[in-house]
């Protein structure tokens, strides 16, 4: 006879928590490592979970080998390839969550904008939006049709993961997507999208509304397809003034979150460069706030209490340093956050493409080992380490 001790019961309960309520037709493998999901909900964990923004990407020679054979959009649109590169950092680096390989710009592409990848520049929209006429041409998104390839990649990746770690789906925020759609590519000044909000705010709002509808439908479809958490990237939040951030970005993010909100699926909001009004971000409905590296995670925790979990926030450039420096900087972040659950270790932005994979592995292994002592108090009731 098998003795059911309290540990086994707790484990069973936490697995059930994330497997019940799934849509019919989605096969759910039991999660062997749910540290990330528990930390999103501030439930006790045995150690701090870690994943890395842009972990499926160019810093990995294995990614570059696939990329050499296929162009970027083909990789996004071929579920087998998207699955292969999504799984690479799980197998090679050992992170605690997978993020589906795709891009925030698949939404504008699916709305009808021509998308090109230019070597040395990055993604380009050769026909950016400059008028109401251009806006009218954007089609209403049906993600189950127009972005079916992402849903298929999610299903295939879940099979490949077979419950090893949770899978994250993501979208750009309406503001960040609008910036690319109007600028046509990455920008240093954002003069064209700023020109739009100051000269034709009505058109800007009409576009943001359309994009917010698309992002809501997309994130809902990803959840339906089986992702375990979603992240909204507002990479260009920090170029707006405080009032403009509220009017042109945060308002739309709130709307998206309230419309996709499903109790068990954590929502992470990463709004870069927004140091002010953390309380407003915490009141957006997100379960987790992603912090860039310019903030002190301990001070943010003090200010917000246990309203949200926090994700971050090592300066990505620390990964250029020697191994001991990487460890000492990572330790500072663990110390600043302090004891208890509610911290998901990550960088303060995406991993640069020229970082050596060994440096990331050093960081991940260090966090796995070092963070245990920050969770002893939560786990002192005779619980064994589970992961």
157, 173, 314 from 149: Cα distances, Å = 12, 21, 33
What's the token pair of residue 68?
A: 């050499």
User: Is residue 374 at the binding interface for ligand 1CP, with CB under 6 A as the rule?
Assistant: no
Give the strand pairing for 116-118 and 122-124: antiparallel
Question: How many other CB atoms sit within 10 Å of the CB of residue 334?
Answer: 19
Q: Examine the residue annotation and report whether 254 is marked as an active-site residue of this protein.
A: no
Rounded CA-CA distance 21/13 in Å is 14
Judged by beta carbon, residue 113 or residue 301, the one nearer ligand 1CP is 113
Judged by beta carbon, residue 122 or residue 126, the one nearer ligand 1CP is 122
User: Is residue 175 at the binding interface for ligand 1CP, with CB under 6 A as the rule?
Assistant: no
Q: Examine the residue annotation and report whether 252 is marked as an active-site residue of this protein.
A: no
55 with 99: CB under 8 angstroms? yes
Rounded CA-CA distance 341/37 in Å is 11
50 with 345: CB under 8 angstroms? yes
Which of 350, 352, 361, 379 touches ligand 1CP by CB under 6 A? 350
44 with 341: CB under 8 angstroms? yes
* Part of the chain binding ligand 1CP (CB under 6 A), chosen from 49-57, 213-221, 330-338, 366-374: 49-57
Residue 265: how many CA atoms within 13 Å on its side-chain side? 26
Which of 18, 59, 63, 180 is catalytic? The answer is 180
Which of 115, 170, 175, 345 touches ligand 1CP by CB under 6 A? 170
User: Is residue 103 at the binding interface for ligand 1CP, with CB under 6 A as the rule?
Assistant: yes
Q: Which of residues 218-257 bind ligand 1CP (CB under 6 A)?
A: 233, 235
Q: Which of residues 69-98 bind ligand 1CP (CB under 6 A)?
A: 72
Q: Examine the residue annotation and report whether 67 is marked as an active-site residue of this protein.
A: yes
Judged by beta carbon, residue 196 or residue 268, the one nearer ligand 1CP is 268
Rounded CA-CA distance 62/85 in Å is 8
Binding string to ligand 1CP for residues 304 to 343, with x set by CB under 6 A, is what? ----------------------------------------
What's the full length of the chain, in residues? 387
Q: Examine the residue annotation and report whether 58 is marked as an active-site residue of this protein.
A: yes
Kindly list the residues in this chain that would bind ligand 1CP in the complex (CB under 6 A). 53-58, 67, 72, 99, 101, 103-105, 122-123, 170, 186, 233, 235, 350
């Amino acid at each position: 006879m098998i003795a059911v001790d309290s540990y086994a019961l707790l484990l069973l309960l936490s697995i059930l928590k994330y497997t019940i309520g799934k849509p019919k037709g989605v096969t759910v493998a039991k999660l062997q490592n749910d540290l990330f999901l528990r930390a999103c909900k501030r439930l006790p964990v045995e150690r701090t979970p870690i994943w890395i923004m842009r972990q499926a990407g160019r810093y990995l020679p294995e990614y570059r080998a696939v990329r050499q054979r296929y162009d970027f959009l083909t990789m996004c649109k071929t579920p087998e390839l998207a699955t292969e590169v999504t799984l690479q950092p799980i197998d090679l680096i050992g992170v605690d969550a997978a993020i589906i390989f795709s891009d925030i710009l698949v939404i504008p592409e699916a709305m009808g904008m021509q998308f090109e990848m230019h070597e040395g520049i990055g993604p380009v929209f050769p026909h950016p939006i400059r008028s109401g006429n251009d806006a009218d041409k954007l089609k209403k998104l049906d993600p189950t049709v127009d972005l079916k390839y992402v849903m298929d990649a999610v299903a295939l990746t879940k099979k490949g993961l077979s419950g090893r770690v949770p899978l994250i789906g993501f979208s750009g925020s309406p503001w960040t997507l609008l910036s690319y759609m109007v600028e046509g590519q990455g920008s240093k000044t954002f003069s064209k999208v700023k020109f739009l909000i100051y000269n034709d705010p009505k058109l800007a709002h009409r576009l943001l509304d359309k994009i917010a509808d698309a992002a809501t439908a997309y994130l809902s479809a990803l959840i339906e397809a089986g992702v375990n958490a979603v992240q909204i990237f507002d990479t260009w939040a920090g170029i707006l003034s405080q009032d403009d951030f509220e009017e042109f970005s945060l308002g739309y993010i709130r709307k998206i979150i309230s419309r996709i909100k499903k109790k068990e699926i954590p929502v992470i909001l990463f709004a870069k460069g927004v140091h002010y009004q953390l309380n407003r971000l915490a009141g957006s409905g997100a379960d987790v706030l992603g912090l860039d590296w310019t903030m002190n995670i301990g001070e943010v925790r003090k200010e917000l209490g246990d309203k949200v979990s926090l994700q971050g926030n090592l300066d990505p450039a620390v990964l250029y340093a020697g191994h001991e420096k990487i460890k000492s900087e990572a330790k500072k972040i663990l110390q600043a956050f302090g004891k208890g659950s509610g911290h998901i270790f990550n960088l303060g932005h995406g991993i640069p493409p020229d970082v050596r994979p060994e440096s990331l592995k050093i960081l991940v292994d260090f966090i796995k080992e070092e963070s245990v002592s920050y969770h002893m108090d939560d786990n002192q009731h005779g619980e064994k380490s589970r992961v």
